[in-house]
Structure 1
């Protein structure tokens, strides 16, 4: 068994005070740092949007953040401008031990479709290369953590199952947006229904990932 830790979007704009700050998001950084040495591979996803990305409310006349629109033929929540390419907001959190990350997979780079999952865009039309990378490393089991539980973490964990990995969610290593009350709870239920196992960092450090 070879294991990987997938860090989802641990970027400045998703931390408190950022353009799309997730409440309590900064609390997951120490969890990531503590877990890294327990895994054979550490990979990270990175929201990496062009300035004219279609998920930004500012790019839709008269739209407000939180409105529901359509992008790439799919329903799309409109967000504030965030994680623009080559800006400080798109950089990894300074407290994150980024030197331990073996590979980074940008997502959300196509203006015409969003990409919550670290594996593919929301329409499943273009892969990021994460699945191929993990398979090439011989990884069979992955743990997923990061921001935000009800969007990019959920999509990444569910797609990891679909890609054939055994998947564990590190619950204390995630925080959610909860745009609608109950979104985080529904996201956790959806992950479990897809075959994702739930645990926390303490149990992982004590027992590791077991089939």
Structure 2
């Protein structure tokens, strides 16, 4: 079975105290250690990055609403190209690519790069919670499984446990992949939200583990 790490939204606006939408208690040291472990052992890293334009409908500063009338009124965060959009220092492998949130693009060459060990990290841009709202994410994972020719096992960490981490882990589990959440390399918004998310993930077959258990 091929292990792949999944880095969910480990960006400055979420994970650093100065960030505009800081998730309190973000375990950045644990996240860095997981990335370093993956790089040292040639474990591929897939991930997501929240990517917005200045006038995103999620923001309280705009009048726009979501496709179903949503208006969460978040502060401006993860605007692409700003310091807050960037990955936390130490959480990028030496060779990586960002995949835009577009309807179609050639992904086969990137899949081949990952399988050959040339590209170590692939990060899918998204606007809402799930990694899989990027239309290229699902076909990329399927193609990766086909190219490896063996089952895939995903190890998930990041922020926030009760939002984007939950969505990524459930999305993987629903697609039939063995999925593990690293609890001490993740953080959530509220205790109640985290407890509910963990319950949902367990019910979907997601395993819970600590960093020491996934990095023996």
Q: Same fold (TM over 0.5)?
A: yes
2:139 equivalent in structure 1: 132
Is contact 1:92-1:98 (8 Å) kept? no
Q: Taking structure 1 as the reference length, what is the TM-score of the superposition? A: 0.79
- Shift of the alpha carbon at 1:77? 3.0
- Which residue of the partner structure matches residue 191 of structure 1? 201
* Cα distance in 1 for residues equivalent to 2:203 and 2:4: 22
* Aligned equivalent of 2:48: 45
State the distance in 2 between where 1:74 and 1:39 align: 43
Measured after TM superposition, the shift of residue 174 of structure 1 is 0.2
Q: Who is 1:92 aligned against?
A: 87
1:71 aligned counterpart, secondary structure: coil
Question: Displacement of 1:72 after TM fit?
Answer: 1.7
CA deviation vs aligned residue, 1:113-168 (integer Å, no higher than 9, x gap) = xx101111xxxxxx432232222222521111101111100011101112221111
Q: Which residue of 2 aligns with 1:112?
A: none
Partners of 1:142 and 1:167 within 8 A in 2: yes
Partner of 1:102: 121
Contact 1:131 1:163 in 2 (8 A): no
Give the CA RMSD over aligned residues.
2.1
Residue deviations 1:49-101 (CA, integer Å, cap 9, x gap): 1111111112149xxxxxxxx62216553311000011111010123233254
Contact 1:154 1:191 in 2 (8 A): yes
Aligned length: 184
Given that 1:35 and 1:201 are in contact with CA atoms closer than 8 Å, whether structure 2 keeps it comes out as: no
- Which residue of 1 is the match for residue 8 of structure 2? 8
Q: What residue ranges of structure 2 are gaps of 5+ in the alignment?
A: 96-119, 146-150
Query: Please, which runs of 5 or more residues in structure 1 have no aligned partner?
Result: 62-69, 109-114, 121-126, 207-211
